[in-house]
Chains A and B, each alone.
Chain A
Amino acid sequence: MSKIDWAAFPDVRGHFGPYGGRFVSETLMGALDELQAVYEQYLGDPDFMAELDHDLQQFVGRPSPLYHAERLSRELGGAQIYLKREDLNHTGAHKVNNTIGQALLAKRLGKTRIIAETGAGQHGVATATVAARLGLECVIYMGEEDTRRQTPNVYRMRLLGAEVVAVKSGTRTLKDALNEAMRDWVTNVDDTFYIIGTVAGPHPYPAMVRDFQAVIGREAREQHLKMTGRLPDALVACVGGGSNAIGLFHPFLADESVQMIGVEAGGEGVATGRHSAPLCAGQPGVLHGNRTYLMEDENGQIIGTHSVSAGLDYPGVGPEHAWLKDLGRARYVSVTDDEALAGFHRLTRTEGIIPALETSHAVAHVLELAPQMRPDQSIVMNLSGRGDKDLNTVAEREGITL
């Protein structure tokens, strides 16, 4: 594995081994070529990068702290736990790192209209935020079921001036929002920029979103070295589409001593079939522009997923994760709804940080992993988002009316 030049992937056609690629209708091929060209051009452009860095500092609030969760570490009696505080970013999650970058590209391309899909609403809010700041028209597609679960975020997007379209087709969740955003894009491709929120979709999105999110891992690596003089032993992050996880993992790929663990949503338990864990229990197929692990039936139809967290409720996953899984460079586990809820409460009461339900899946795995490690070892967990948006869901599950 040491022979892999991680920077060389994806290849020119967007492949990570057998995964990734560009599986879209012909109408979008030209727009994707255009996007790839502009992204490659500006990624090496000092003026663009300076503008991006400025926005990340002044608007997002980067760098985000790497916080040593001493009380939780002590209680668990194992590895030292460090939390990369993406929840402290403007808009409350890692999503904005990417929307800032893509919006700057949209501006360079002269596009006047932004569209996006959203599950939990974090990516929708982050997109509506940058669209408001740049004065661009903004339409957010969100599954009807998710608009119900995430009402505070729907209102936030509307306050920011976005039109929120509740998608009523299919399972009325994130995958259907993505279908509808694709349909909008194919219709309005001349003036519209589609800001995909995760490391999935047709090339160049998985690579581009990864590159915008890799700031998480670059900062964490440097911060951890500075604080402890060494690299962490393990990285843990939740995986829906997988953007916060790849953002943390990618800058560490060549550091062979660093273990990487992605945590999928096990829902009611992988054995029940009611989950959102394609890497743990799916198989390779083609959906939403890329080849990757999917949850599908024997006829290749995509099957309904389940998770308490809207942001992880997706039947696919970014193609780079599919590849890292096959290579064994990262491993993927699942955590049930109940375990995630327990993680949510534990972090809140022990460290005074309310995590998003998505992030709570990573917390739950850390609770299991840390005691198996020594106190001179360390774990960096991506605290990808804050939990304010989930208070209704948590209260409802626990029979509390707010």
Chain B
Amino acid sequence: MSRIEQRFAELREQNRAALIPYVTAGDPEPAATVPLMHALVAAGADLIELGVPFSDPMADGPVIQKACERALRFGTGLRDVLAMVAEFRKTDSQTPVVLMGYLNPVERMGYEAFVSSARVAGLDGLLTVDLPPEESEDVVGLLESAGIDPIFLVAPTTSEARVEHVARAARGFVYYVSLKGVTGSQSLDTSALAARLEGLRQHTGLPLGVGFGIRDARTAAQVAAVADAVVVGSAIVRLAEDHDGDADGFARAAAAVVREMRDAMDSARSTGVAASV
């Protein structure tokens, strides 16, 4: 059983949804990332999504674009990010780590070199936003042989036929992009979400994560009532910008947001707020 499967199985038993914070590796500086990951786990994160900085983050809004720019000022590359995962693993062997980013840094490193380094580092999943299942056969085979889950997106615009296709390629969990737009756009419409997730469950037994547009604890709780995982990116990364280079201040603020979301999500599940969504 992979670390991701293991984590979702535990949460299901506890009737809890997973909280998955996203941070961009190397933001605001490379040395801050591993302590930040530990702080997020201590505050209640179940998985960590670690962003690989890219020069042209086409699917991201301004908050994550700027995070990439800050990280790239230090030249944070894919090999550095894998070194951070390895460092994190030295003291946390339980929390799954998923890399999220764009395909080109992986292409440049080479699929085989990436997969073998990622396995050694203790990586659990890879989500490349510009790699749909149609183009992913080569890398997916290598990832699977290394026990790393390929994570794929489903969008509001994904047809039934494509959902079937994506679900077949996906492992670990399916990431439902809750709105049409880039990361951090507007607030999502939670009322339409429940029905859509119900539809997706007809096609896959994998856990369903929801991301894009989850800005506060209230929305996180509403999503947690119907989804298996809540992914929060821009709402956390924005704090790095607010703290302008103060890595400790950023880590404290990020942990506070995660703790607040964690509490709201858990009480939504235990009090059955699901019915009111």
Chain A positions within 8 Å of B, measured between CB atoms, are 13, 21-31, 33, 169-170, 175-176, 179, 182-183, 186-190, 284-289, 291, 294, 296, 298-303
The reply to whether B106 and A300 form a contact with Cβ atoms under 8 Å apart is yes
Please determine whether A187 and B182 come into contact, CB atoms closer than 8 angstroms: yes
CB pair A286 B55 closer than 8 Å: no
Q: Which of B71-79, B190-198, B215-223 contacts A (4 or more CB under 8 A)?
A: B71-79
A22 touches B134 (CB 8 A): yes
Q: How many residues of B contact A (CB 8 A)?
A: 44
Residues 164-190 of B, flagged 1 when their CB comes within 8 A of A and 0 if not, give: 001000000000010011100100000
B66 nearest CB neighbor, chain A only: A169
Contact B182 A23 (CB under 8 A): no
Q: With the chains together, A182 CA to B53 CA distance in Å?
A: 18
B105 beta carbon closer than 8 Å to chain A: yes
Closest A-chain residue to B158, C-beta based? A26
In the assembled complex, how far is the CB of residue B147 from the closest CB belonging to chain A, in whole angstroms? 24
Of B62, B104, B134, the residue contacting A300 (CB under 8 A) is B104
Contact between chains at A23 and B131 (CB < 8 Å): yes
B130 near A: Cβ within 8 Å? yes
Let me know if B162 and A299 touch, CB within 8 A: no
Closest Cβ–Cβ distance, residue B78 to chain A (whole Å)? 6
* Contact yes or no, B177 A175, CB < 8 A: no
Which B residues fall within an 8 A CB radius of A? 53-59, 61-62, 65, 72, 75, 77-79, 102-109, 129-132, 134-135, 152-159, 162, 166, 177, 180-182, 185
List B contacts of A170 (CB < 8 A).
Answer: 55-56
Q: Tell me the smallest distance from the CB of B197 to a CB of chain A, in Å.
A: 16
A23-B131, A299-B108 given as contacts; is B158 within 8 A of A186 (CB)? no
Cβ A27 vs Cβ B177 within 8 A: yes
Complex contact B132–A24 (CB within 8 A): yes
Bound-state CA distance A294–B56 (Å) is 13
Given A27-B177, A183-B182, A287 contacting B108 (CB threshold 8 A): no
User: B108 touching A296 by the CB < 8 A rule?
Assistant: yes
Residues in A whose Cβ lies below 8 Å from that of B102: 286
Listed from nearest, the 4 A-B pairs whose CB atoms lie closest are A300-B108, A299-B77, A300-B105, A27-B155
- Known interface pairs A30-B162, A31-B157. Does A300 touch B181 (Cβ–Cβ under 8 Å)? no
- Give Cα distance in the complex from A176 to B62, angstroms: 13
Is there contact, CB below 8 Å, between B181 and A285?
no
What separation, in Å, do the CA atoms of A294 and B104 have in the docked complex?
A: 10
A31 surroundings in chain B (CB, below 8 A): 157
Residues of B within 8 A of A186 (CB): 59, 180-182
**When the two chains form the complex, which single residue of A33, A189, A190, A285 contacts B104, counting CB atoms closer than 8 Å?**
A285
Majority-rule SS of A interface residues: mixed
A287 proximity list for chain B (CB < 8 A): 56, 104
Q: Which residues of A contact B154 (CB under 8 A)?
A: 26
Structural contact, B132 and A301, CB atoms closer than 8 A = no
State the CA gap A298–B77 with chains docked (Å).
Answer: 9
Q: Which of A26, A190, A285, A303 contacts B132 (CB 8 A)?
A: A26
B51 to chain A, nearest CB (A): 14
Residue of B nearest to A31 (CB): B157
Rounded to whole angstroms, the CA-CA distance of A207 and B166 in the bound complex is: 25
Chain A residues with CB below 8 A from B107, complex form: 284-286, 291, 300
* CB within 8 Å for A25 and B155 given contacts A190-B180, A300-B104, A302-B104: yes
Chain B residues positioned under 8 Å from A190 (CB to CB): 180
Query: What's the least CB distance linking B120 to chain A, in Å?
Result: 19
Flag if B158 contacts A23 (CB, 8 Å). no
Please give the distance in Å from B274's CB to the nearest CB on chain A: 26
Q: A27-B180, A300-B78, A302-B56 are in contact. List 8 more A-B contacts (CB 8 A).
A: A23-B131, A24-B130, A25-B59, A26-B155, A31-B157, A183-B58, A187-B181, A301-B54
* Residues of A contacting B134 in the complex (Cβ-Cβ under 8 angstroms): 13, 21-22
**Docked complex Cα distance between A298 and B73 (Å):** 15
Q: Assuming the A-B contacts A23-B132, A169-B65, are A189 and B162 also in contact, with contact meaning beta carbons closer than 8 angstroms in the complex? A: no
Contact indicator A26/B177 (Cβ below 8 Å): yes
- Determine the distance from Cα of A21 to Cα of B109 in the docked complex, in whole angstroms: 20
Chain B residues whose C-beta falls within 8 Å of the C-beta of A28 in the assembled complex = 157
Report chain B residues within 8 Å CB of A288: 56, 58
Give the Cβ gap from B128 to chain A, nearest Cβ, in Å.
9
Q: Give the Cβ gap from B264 to chain A, nearest Cβ, in Å.
A: 28
What's the minimum C-beta distance from A248 to chain B, rounded to whole angstroms? 29
Determine whether the beta carbon of B103 is less than 8 Å from that of A23: yes
- Residue of B56, B106, B152, B166 near A179 (CB, 8 A) is B56
The complex places the Cα of A301 from the Cα of B53 at a distance, in Å, of 9
Closest CB of chain B to A298's CB: distance in Å? Answer: 7
- Contact of A183 with B130 in the complex, beta carbons under 8 Å: no
Report B42 CB to chain A, min CB distance, Å.
31
Q: Closest CB of chain B to A40's CB: distance in Å? A: 17
Chain B residue nearest to A301 in the complex (CB): B55
Which B residues touch A33, using CB under 8 A? 159
Residues of B contacting A285 in the complex (Cβ-Cβ under 8 angstroms): 104, 107-108
